[in-house]
């Protein structure tokens, strides 16, 4: 069992004919993902990596029964791409696009919730259920099928921690980047709820960063509702207040959102925090063997 994506995933790639869309389509197919369609307006009838291209998501869903989409389009077109997928009946939308204004995302998130579909991202590196499917830009070769779930706000730190987990001899059930923007579709708690129900997930790693309160809220949820071991890593211990660090959501406002505050919240609620990505893998190995 896995969460979000698996062998039943039927993927449509929005922006498949672009540089990033075509490259990562090839990588997703290589991993074993069932990529059934691509969409680029005006390019219908073509093929990319053997995948048929359609002019609209609704046509792709009708012809191929796609149930998941991944979005590789510029930020200014990404909200409309999300709306199009939601209107076409897609149930899981993974948005890789970065730089969408927060005011637009507030409307987008509300819209997809009304359509009863899930948005991961934007500014997400995607989702991998190890040995099942890869949706997005996560490097498939670092994953190994196993029992550790990983949820992260940081793309590159996700890769680093997964690599250390794999090298320790453990593996992953599902790993995803939820995105580092201030407004996102899926948060830590929603992922924890699904990992709680996943019989193959024995432990979870939460990778947080400065800014916002999502980590603090997740820590309280873990203590009150989650019965599997959780480990953490927080990025940005030396970040100065008021300066955005990498992601739009990674900014300390006053005394809120600091790395120290998040680490304290984790530890007070029973989440063991690693000093480094390698330390996270070591803590996992000690617990799971």
- Known binding-site positions: 17-20, 159
The CA–CA distances, whole Å, from 114 to 78, 102, 119 equal 18, 19, 12
Binding residues for substrate: 159
HSE, side-chain direction, 13 A CA sphere, residue 241: 8
**154: closest CA among 262, 20, 34?**
262
Binding residues for CoA: 17-20
247 labelled catalytic? yes
d(CA 261, CA 212): 11
- CB neighbour list of residue 217: distance below 8 Å, 6 or more residues apart: 187, 188, 189
Q: Which residue numbers are catalytic?
A: 247
């Amino acid at each position: 069992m896995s969460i979000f994506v698996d062998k039943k995933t039927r993927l449509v790639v929005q922006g498949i004919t672009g540089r990033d869309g075509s490259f990562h389509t090839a990588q997703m197919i290589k991993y074993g993902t069932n990529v059934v369609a691509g969409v680029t307006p005006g390019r219908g009838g073509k093929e990319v990596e053997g995948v048929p291209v359609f002019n609209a998501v609704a046509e792709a869903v009708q012809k191929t029964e796609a149930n998941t989409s991944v979005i590789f389009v510029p930020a200014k077109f990404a909200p409309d791409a999300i709306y199009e997928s939601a209107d076409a009946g897609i149930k899981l939308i993974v948005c890789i696009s970065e730089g969408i204004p927060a005011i637009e995302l507030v409307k987008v998130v509300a819209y997809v919730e009304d359509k009863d579909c899930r948005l991961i991202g934007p500014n997400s590196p995607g989702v991998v259920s190890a040995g099942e499917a890869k949706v997005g830009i996560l490097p498939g070769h670092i994953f190994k099928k196993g029992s550790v779930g990983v949820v992260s706000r940081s793309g590159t730190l996700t890769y680093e921690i997964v690599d250390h987990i794999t090298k320790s001899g453990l593996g992953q059930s599902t790993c995803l980047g939820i995105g580092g923007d201030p407004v996102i579709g899926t948060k830590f708690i929603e992922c924890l709820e699904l990992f709680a129900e996943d019989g193959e997930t024995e432990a979870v790693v939460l990778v947080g960063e400065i800014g916002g309160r999502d980590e603090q809220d997740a820590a309280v949820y873990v203590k009150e509702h989650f019965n599997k071991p959780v480990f953490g890593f927080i990025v940005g211990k030396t970040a100065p207040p008021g300066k955005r660090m990498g992601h739009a959501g990674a900014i300390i406002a006053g005394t809120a959102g600091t790395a120290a505050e998040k680490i304290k919240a984790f530890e007070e609620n029973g989440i063991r925090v690693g000093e480094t990505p390698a330390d996270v893998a070591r803590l996992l190995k000690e617990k799971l063997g």
